[in-house]
Amino acid sequence: MAGCISRAVTLKGQTMRHRNSGSKLGRNPSHRRATLRNLVTNLFEHGRITTTLTRAKATRPVAEKMITLGKRDTLQSRRQAAAYIMTPAVTQKLFSEIAPKFADRAGGYTRIVQAGIRVGDGAKVAILEMVGYELKKKEKKEKTKKEEPAAAAS
């Protein structure tokens, strides 16, 4: 009985997920890592991404660790960030623009805003954005009025 406490309880060949936090995102480890890398790269590139709530919650700590690397700004931290972020331009942006913005902030660089439910499959959708991100409104082009055909004919 004493040895029973330390062993994982097996049910039909599977062990219980005790002390295994975090979502697997329905992917194998390499695919999950690639998904997170892509999400972090897109977050830094655009400042704001729309994704499922589960993916946003999984991406947030990774993105915050990358910003902390950017704040450190050593050769080693640049190499670690470059090894994780997909494009060199985004790595450069992290160290030159993003990290200096958060120099005086001790964590909490991103925010998750729930955005409702996706129509196709009912998944909870969230917006993952950097703190201080301002949505740039696109300028609307003025429509040119077409001359009335009746007035032009007479």
pLDDT in tens, 134-146: 777 778 888 777 7
Q: What is the pLDDT of residues 92-107, one digit of tens each?
A: 999 999 999 999 999 9
Residues 6+ apart with CB under 8 A from 48: 127, 128, 129, 130, 133, 135
State how far the alpha carbon of 24 is from the alpha carbons of 11, 15, 20, in Å: 20, 16, 10
Which of 63, 129, 67, 133 is CA-nearest to residue 103? 67
Amino acid letter for position 43: L
Backbone angles phi, psi at 128, to 5 degrees: -105, 120
Does the pTM of the predicted model rise above 0.85? no
Which of 62, 12, 11 is CA-nearest to residue 32? 62
Per-residue pLDDT of the chain (154 residues; tens, 9 = 90+): 555 555 555 567 788 989 988 889 989 999 999 999 999 999 999 999 999 999 999 999 999 999 999 999 999 999 999 999 999 999 999 999 999 999 999 999 999 999 999 999 999 999 999 998 877 777 888 877 777 666 666 5
Rg (C-alpha) for the chain, rounded Å, is 23
Q: What is the mean pLDDT of the chain?
A: 88
